[in-house]
Amino acid sequence: MKSKECIAMLLAGGQGSRLRLLTKNLAKPAVPFGGKYRIIDFSLSNCVNSGIDTVGVLTQYKPQVLNSYIGIGDAWDFHCYGSHGGVTILPPYEREDGGEFYKGTAHAIYQNIDFIDKYNPEYVLILSGDHIYKMDYSLMLEEHKKNDAEVTISVIEVPWEEASRFGIMNTDQEGRIVQFEEKPICPKSNLASMGVYIFNWGVLKEYLIRDAADKESAHDFGKNVIPRMLQDSLKMYAYAFQGYWRDVGTVESYWEASMDILDDQGCLTFFDNDWRIYSAPSLQAPHYISSKAEIEDSLISDGCAIEGKVEHSILFPGVFVGQESLIKDSIIMPGVRIGRRVKIEKAIIGENTVVGDGSYIGADGITVIEDSITMPENTQVGRLLRLKKKTKEEEEDVKELLG
Amino acid sequence: MKEVMGLIHHVKDEKAFRQITKNRCVAAIPFGGKYRLVDFPLSNMVNAGISNIGIITSFNMRSLLEHLGRGEDWGLDRKKDGLFILPTASIDSANNKRKVDLEDFYANLDYLEKSKQEYVLITGSNIVCNLDLRKVGAFHKKNEADVTIVYQDGYQFLDLDIKRGVYLQKDDDGRILAIEAGAPSPGNVVSMDMYLLKKSLLMSFFEEGEINGKWDLISDFLTSRVRDLRIYGFPYQGYLAIVNSWQSLFKHQLELLDSRVVQKLFNPKRMIYTKIKDGPPTRYCGGAEVCNVLASNGCVIEGKVENCIMFRKVKIGRGAVIRNSILMPKVEIGENVVLDRVILDKGVSVHKGTKLISQNEDPIIIPKNIKVREGSV
């Protein structure tokens, strides 16, 4: 088989527990985002737009939705490469001497050394499946080659006051990384790692094998592999990315990134034909806005029917909003049915949930409502309360419990 | 309906659609915010389990072929059977008055012969409905019919389309007593241009056609044989639009603004399939006012829109007021434009401040990719 210059390995196996109810039934990269996408669409589209035609997607936590969504990758044109690339889903698997789950990000790649070797690439691009950004990886690769680097780590400037929340790269004047600090209390720089790495495959392979043998290691790129490489004084460079980038690992950051889309912040627009974000949409009829509806500052997808008021919100496909209801600063996942006289503020409503007439969801903070539940009429959900699936009897009591 | 193959014939009268058919055949006319007319007969067939479908195309077929692809969006990209494009036999389409032109099928005899199915279901490409064709099949067998024609009782054409209709007379058992093109029957029993018959019967018509040069299924075969053949009418009561002209195209699309019509036509149990396009959700900006609108993905709306159908990627600028209009894909409306009763074909752009208001019932048509400035229409 022809060798590939660069292939991508996309880490999509994490549970994303900080997204709480949003990842109850699916892996973080499969969480819907932006009115019709899933989070993984950004990384996959970036790959295809950057000319990377071979991607391994490493899955582990609740992968069913993600697997069927990616399919043969035709939504991103990955199916065009036949057996010479395209997208391959890589779950943990059993070998002659037994099998193991992926114990960490580095271990996940280690377990798939054979997959990478099959393409005999010069470089391997490591990506996370939970970031919202548009990035041309080919520019980063060019810089990697220009620097004659062994490792290049993409960084973004973050506000100084937030720097202690990130993995911070300290560099010299040439951009060579001299120190890496995970969530430093007193950051020396504001260049945060984006979790996007390019490695020379030969170098990475060696470190992965060494790391796998180390019983003390957590088998994590940020915690183990990168520090070890720094210790060994490898040629490691920071690549400064300019543009919009968000880690949507928490409910708060997920909600904020969604609102950024509405507010056109950071130029991350979907209405840009030069760097399209592709997705695998399912067929829906056009959406219908009735004569009683009012819509302002919102994204509305196919299959919705709206009779109420929608303000500064994102509605995924197939959402119904009844008369005299108000949806404000909220994210409504696919297939949600909202009755009449409902008020929803600053909330994320899970897929296929039914909100009974006269209900109120909101207060300050972000309220998350689980997938596929039926909320009876006049349910009140305030902050801090996370409505769980109830039995029938319990459902009757929900109103009392919450009110 | 594994024993039935589908044949979608080609509506010859393209002139009735004016400039809308300049770049496309009737089957490919955009309809309902994201569909094309052919999606309705195709989906009805697919939903009934028909998986071998041939479509007659005119020479004006680029847009249709692009839409259909390999039939993947209808689940027709198969190893066995699937979607087949059948070129018309009619070079002079404009002067061909045949309602259902059997010569087109005859020109593709190879395809018909190699198809294994016992029955053929022939339908026009301009019939918008959501119909369970399995019921038609059962009805056909129950009546031991030679031909079953699907009809609707009391369907109202626009006045100018009356002459384009085919009308039936039937007895109480549903047996068809007379078939007449162009002249309304008592009770206005309108043929929906859907015919179920054995392939062998169709083949026998070909033999005659070859001898006498008569090829119209309606006037040359069925009309004169209502006594010799057992021809039955299957009544359809759901939503129906027979799109025969640019005027009816306008009228029927605006009917979709009634949510009851939408629920019937886009019944989730029998979906209407179309080519899936991957665009962002539609964005309604701060100043947008929308009322009674059916809209597709990828639009950006800053103005006021009332009683409109918007296909994908329509842009409407600030201060614009658009009423009772159909905006096909990629239409761009500048600031402060005022439109009422206008069909804007694909890719039309209207310069800011332009006012276009139809002075009568009929809409104004702006042909594909035209740039409209004040005074240019």
* Burial class for A403, CB neighbours closer than 10 Å (0-12, 13-18, 19+): exposed
Q: Given phi > 0 = left and psi -120 to 50 = alpha, else beta, which region is A398?
A: alpha
> What pLDDT, on a 0 to 100 scale, did the predictor assign at position A273?
81
Residues B86-108 pLDDT 10s: 999 987 777 788 999 999 999 99
Cβ–Cβ gap B281/A293 under 8 Å: no
Residue A387: pLDDT band with limits 50, 70, 90: very low
> What pLDDT, on a 0 to 100 scale, did the predictor assign at position A83?
81
Domains, in order of start, for chain B: 4-265 (3.90.550.10), 283-372 (2.160.10.10)
Residue A267: pLDDT band with limits 50, 70, 90: low
In whole angstroms, give the CA distance from residue A360 to residue A349: 12
Our CA-based measurement puts residue A74 at a distance from the nearest CA of chain B, in whole angstroms, of 12
> What pLDDT, on a 0 to 100 scale, did the predictor assign at position A389?
46
In whole angstroms, give the CA distance from residue B18 to residue B278: 30
Chain B residue with the nearest C-alpha to that of A315? B281
Q: Given phi > 0 = left and psi -120 to 50 = alpha, else beta, which region is A123?
A: beta
Q: Pull the structure tokens for residue A190.
A: 């504001």
Q: Is the pLDDT of residue A390 over 60?
A: no
Cβ–Cβ gap B285/A278 under 8 Å: no
Can you list the alpha helix ranges (DSSP code H) found in A147-200?
A: none
Distance (Å) of CA B40 to CA A102, B171, B270, B289, B363: 48, 29, 11, 31, 24
Cβ–Cβ gap B283/A302 under 8 Å: no
| C-beta separation of B210 from B106 below 8 A | yes
Q: Is the pLDDT of residue A399 over 70?
A: no
Radius of gyration of chain B (CA): 21
Q: Pull the structure tokens for residue A24.
A: 């109850």
> What pLDDT, on a 0 to 100 scale, did the predictor assign at position B58?
87
Residue A26 neighbours by CB under 8 Å, 6+ apart: A62, A64, A65, A66
In whole angstroms, give the CA distance from residue B145 to residue B230: 5
> What pLDDT, on a 0 to 100 scale, did the predictor assign at position A297?
94
Residues A338-375 pLDDT 10s: 999 999 999 999 999 999 999 999 877 899 999 999 99
In whole angstroms, give the CA distance from residue B286 to residue B300: 11
pTM above 0.90, yes or no: yes
Q: What's the DSSP call for residue B338? A: E
In whole angstroms, give the CA distance from residue A142 to residue A165: 29
Sign (positive or negative) of CA dihedral A372, A375, A381, A385: negative
In whole angstroms, give the CA distance from residue B45 to residue B124: 12
Q: Phi and psi (nearest 5°) for A256?
A: -65, -45
User: Within an 8 Å CB–CB cutoff, is residue B276 touching chain A?
Assistant: yes
User: Within an 8 Å CB–CB cutoff, is residue A11 touching chain B?
Assistant: no
DSSP E strand stretches across B67-217: 82-87, 119-124, 127-129, 147-153, 166-170, 176-181, 189-198
Which one, of B57, B203, B231, lies nearest residue B117 by Cα? B203
- Beta strands at B231-235 and B147-153: parallel, antiparallel or unpaired: parallel
Percent of chain A exceeding pLDDT 70 equals 94
Q: Is the pLDDT of residue A398 over 90?
A: no
User: Within an 8 Å CB–CB cutoff, is residue A65 touching chain B?
Assistant: no
Residue A1: pLDDT band with limits 50, 70, 90: low
Residue A198 parent element (H or E): strand A191-200
In whole angstroms, give the CA distance from residue B327 to residue B348: 9
Q: Is the pLDDT of residue A395 over 80?
A: no
Q: Phi and psi (nearest 5°) for A389?
A: -65, 135
Q: Pull the structure tokens for residue B20.
A: 């809308």
> What pLDDT, on a 0 to 100 scale, did the predictor assign at position A282?
86
Our CA-based measurement puts residue B305 at a distance from the nearest CA of chain A, in whole angstroms, of 10
Q: Given phi > 0 = left and psi -120 to 50 = alpha, else beta, which region is B139?
A: alpha
Residues B146-190 pLDDT 10s: 999 999 999 999 999 999 999 999 999 999 999 999 888 888 899
In whole angstroms, give the CA distance from residue A40 to residue A28: 8
In total, chain A counts a number of residues equal to: 403
Q: What's the DSSP call for residue B185? A: P
Chain B residue with the nearest C-alpha to that of A37? B280
User: Within an 8 Å CB–CB cutoff, is residue A34 touching chain B?
Assistant: yes
Residue B43 parent element (H or E): helix B39-47
Residues A304-343 pLDDT 10s: 999 999 999 999 999 999 999 999 999 999 999 999 999 9
Residue B9 parent element (H or E): strand B4-9
**pLDDT, mean over chain A:** 91
- Which residue has tokens 């190879």? B110
In whole angstroms, give the CA distance from residue B303 to residue A287: 18
Residue A151 neighbours by CB under 8 Å, 6+ apart: A177, A197, A198, A199, A200, A203, A204, A226, A229, A234, A235, A236, A237
Which one, of B345, B328, B363, B13, lies nearest residue B161 by Cα? B13
Residues A74-106 pLDDT 10s: 999 999 988 889 999 999 999 898 889 999 999
> Best residue in B278, B292, B314 to probe A by mutation, most A CBs within 10 Å?
B278
Q: Which residues of B touch A78 (CB under 8 A)?
A: none
pLDDT along chain B (377 residues), means of 10: 95 91 95 97 98 94 96 96 94 82 96 97 97 98 98 94 94 94 87 98 96 94 95 97 96 95 92 94 94 96 97 97 98 97 97 94 95 74
